[in-house]
Structure 1
Amino acid sequence: MNSVYILLVEDEAPKRAHIERFLKGLSTEITIAVAQSVNSALDVLDEHLPDLLLLDMSLPTFSVGERESGGRPQGEGGIEILRYMTLAEIVCPTIVITGYEAFLREAGKPVDLSQLRMELEEEFPRCFKGVLHYNSTYDEWKTELGKALAEFNIYTEKGK
């Protein structure tokens, strides 16, 4: 396997650390860049195109710092990143990893992950590759992410 550059966009430290540990355990050939907000993700994407984007949906506008609150929370900040990529003609395989099982829209109507998947496939056909539900108490997300990485030749399950 050649060196693989992955951009992980995740604002929650425990979830981010868990995903990073999983990825680093797969191969020493994986380089992980981290962004914790919509704007920091856009900065990284403008600097260096990753081989794979792992994207949270709910993100703050700005990275949280000592004097920065992170700006307004965006329930679908990940979609803003995907829309920017479309406008900037950035094509990068993207997998959404979210801890939510549904998202509330403006009218208060919930959108579950299967509906979100369909919407993202339709709006972002060039880069969107799937949605994974992250739950720290179960390993299902690891299995699903491993399968997805195998499809991109980033990870090959043992024995294959």
Structure 2
Amino acid sequence: MEDEAPKRGHIERLLRELLPTAHISIARSVNAALDILEAETIDFLLLDMSLPTFDIGDRESGGRPQGFGGIEVLRHMTMAEILCPTLIITGYEGFKRESGATVDLAQLRSELVDEFSQILMGVLHYNSTYDEWKHTLREALTSADLEHN
């Protein structure tokens, strides 16, 4: 689930390389992600932390931006008992809470792993300049028994 086109393109290319026969569903908002989770059986979820409420289009702004939209998806999965291995991927190193306080990626990772231990495999930092995110994603797919190459 990713809303930014360049980042989504990089991730999708890598997934198609690693999983050439896999069906890949893409959602660009919290609501689109929830729709897919309700309609399809998902083997692995790669989830962006910051997602708009609705898909952004020519006449749609995406609704309220959600810095923690990924958490909303994770909470829905927990309530609906959707036990799908999930990896958070984010380009941000820090997030501003509604209270105004900022939480860094390490603290957020710790909080999310504690709250969503049944489904969350980890949180990785996406940076198109470096390949570390690719290695982490490959390891997660292997751990979830999905990588075919």
- TM-score, normalization by structure 1: 0.89
Query: Which among 6, 31, 37 is matched to residue 39 of structure 1?
Result: 31
Q: Does 1:68 align with 2:60?
A: yes
Which residue identity does 1:138 align to in structure 2? Y
Q: Does 1:144 align with 2:136?
A: yes
Q: Deviations over 1:19-55 (max 9, x none)?
A: 0001111132222100000000000000012100000
The structure with more strand, counted as a fraction of residues? 1
Q: In the TM superposition, what is the alpha-carbon distance from 1:156 to its structure 2 partner?
A: 5.7
Give the corresponding residue for 2:82: 90
Which residue identity does 2:32 align to in structure 1? S
Instruction: State the alpha-carbon separation in 2 of the partners of residues 156 and 40 from structure 1.
Output: 28
Give the corresponding residue for 1:80: 72
Give the corresponding residue for 2:92: 100
Q: Deviations over 1:81-117 (max 9, x none)?
A: 0011111111111100000011112333221122111
- 2:26 is paired with a residue whose SS is strand
Q: How many residues are treated as equivalent by the alignment? A: 149
Larger RCO: Structure 1 or Structure 2 (Cα < 8 Å, ≥ 6 residues apart)? 2
Stretches (4+) displaced over 4 A: none
Q: In the TM superposition, what is the alpha-carbon distance from 1:66 to its structure 2 partner?
A: 2.0
Q: Which runs of 5+ in 2 are unaligned?
A: none
Give the corresponding residue for 2:125: 133
Q: Does 1:121 align with 2:113?
A: yes
| RMSD after superposition | 1.2
Instruction: State the alpha-carbon separation in 2 of the partners of residues 80 and 66 from structure 1.
Output: 25
Which residue identity does 2:137 align to in structure 1? L
Instruction: State the alpha-carbon separation in 2 of the partners of residues 98 and 13 from structure 1.
Output: 14
- TM-score, normalization by structure 2: 0.95
Give the corresponding residue for 1:4: none
Give the corresponding residue for 1:14: 6
For the 8 Å contact 2:19–2:148, the answer to whether it is kept is: no
Identity %: 62
